Amino acid sequence: MTDPDAPRTLLDAAMPRWHFREHHTRPVPARRGEAVLAALPEVTWSEVPVFAGLLRVGSLGKLRRDPARPVLEDMRASGFRVLARTDDEFVMVAVSGGEEFPAEDDTPGPMEWFRTYAPPGSTKVAFNARVRGGVLSTETRVFAADEPARRAFRAYWMLVRLPGGLVRRELLRAMGRRAGRAGQGPSAPPPTGGRGSGQR
């Protein structure tokens, strides 16, 4: 699906079409926007206990994260990579199958390669964190290349969509708190909630 009314973002450029989507927002003081976004790579597992706990339960207690380790470092180790970043948006992506991303100076470059990546049976995921007009948001999009891939992912999505929403809201809160501790003022007010969708 595409969203013709959405403003053009790095996430739009990376994945203009998707089949599954989750979106959450949290108000932040406009003057703190860049500081809040800059906090994302610094958020540690100790700041997102729900996320860490869900991973531990899902692994039957085998997977324990170092509380002091940044979350994004472990995400990179698991196959995610930072695709693009500006002052107001940060995008990470991953693809099924473990394919290597091209280098920045390759043709096509990482952005074009990811946007067009769709071998049979594959899925790809992109998520962003973005600050605009006093609103911190995170959106996750998933594209499945064909109907078998969509059926397989749909079953998984039904299981993880609710806990995934909890994790995304927790991450937004952690970013706000960390920016606040950095001397940028009080933490943001409670989140406004979120919305998600399956295939449309």
Across residues 14-39, what is the average pLDDT? 91
pLDDT of 152 reads: 95
Mean pLDDT along residues 167-186: 80
Number of domains making up the chain: 1
Residue 195 placed within a domain: no
Q: For residue range 122-161, list pLDDT tens digits in order.
A: 999 999 999 998 899 999 999 999 999 999 999 999 999 9
Asked if residue 165 is part of any domain, the answer here is: yes
Domain that holds residue 53: 25-97+108-182
Residue 134 is assigned to a structural domain of this protein = yes
Q: Are 46 and 67 spatial neighbours (Cβ–Cβ below 8 Å)? A: yes
Alpha helix stretches (DSSP H) within 22-146:
33-38, 49-58, 71-77, 110-116
Residue 176: which of 128, 140, 134 has the closest Cα? 134
Position 75 in a domain: yes
Determine, yes or no, domain membership for 52.
yes
Cβ atoms < 10 Å from Cβ of 63: 12
Domain-embedded: residue 125: yes
